Amino acid sequence: MDSPVHLDTPLQPTELEPGLSAFVCPKSGGHWIPLSSYFTWRELHASATRPLPPGYHPELADDCAQRALICPESGYLLVRYRVGSGLNFCVDRSPKTGGVWLDAGEWEALKSKGLHDELHLIFTAPYQARILSEVADTRLEDRFRARLGAEDYQRVTDFRSWLRKHPKRRDIVAYLLDDGT
C-alpha cells in the first residue's frame, strides 16, 4: 500500500498503540489505520488506555481544505470529517474499507481529548451535525465580535451569562425591549 499523501512512498507496518496495528508513511509521519485493526484494538484495549494529560494540546493546522486523498487499500477517494471538540482538523475515512488516515500528530491530539477510542463516532451523522452546529455558533460569535468590537462583545457576553442565570430574566428582557411608549 502506498501513502495517500506521498503516492510514491510505500506505507510501513507499525504499532500505533500496543495492539493497534497500523501503517506509517515514512515521509509525512501520517498513519493508516485499517478498520478491522481499530475495532480489534478497541475491543481489547481501549477501555484500559488513558487520554494524554490535560493541557497537552499539539498545534495542528486546519487541513480540511486540503486536496482529496486516495484510500491506500481500495483506490477510492477518502471522505474528510471535521473532528471538533476543540480540535481544528479533519480526519479522512475510506467509504469503501472504513480505514482512517491520520496526519502526523493527529492521533496524539485525539488522545489529548479522549477521542482516540471513540474515533468511529466521528463519522456518524449525529456527531457531524453537532460539529456543524458548533462551527455555525463560532461563526456567529465572530460576526458579533467584529460588529461590536472585542470589548463591547465581552461585556454583552458577560451580561448574557448573568441574565441566563437570573431568576427574573423574563422581566429584565421585557424591560429592555420596552421602548417606553
- Total of domains in the chain: 2
Based on the fold, state whether residues 55 and 88 are members of the same structural domain: yes
Based on the fold, state whether residues 47 and 63 are members of the same structural domain: yes
pTM of the model: 0.72
Condensed to tens digits (0 to 9), the pLDDT of residues 64-99 reads 667 789 999 999 999 999 998 888 899 999 999 999
**Half-sphere CA count of 65, side-chain side, radius 13 A:** 2
Based on the fold, state whether residues 30 and 107 are members of the same structural domain: yes
Based on the fold, state whether residues 93 and 134 are members of the same structural domain: no
Q: Per this entry, what is the length of the chain?
A: 181
The contacts of residue 148 (CB under 8 Å, 6+ apart) are 156
Based on the fold, state whether residues 73 and 151 are members of the same structural domain: no
**DSSP reduced 3-state for 10:** strand
Q: Identity (one letter) of the amino acid at 176?
A: L
Based on the fold, state whether residues 117 and 135 are members of the same structural domain: no
142, 136, 174: which is closest to 157 by C-alpha?
Answer: 142
Condensed to tens digits (0 to 9), the pLDDT of residues 110-157 reads 999 989 988 999 999 999 999 989 889 989 999 999 999 999 999 999
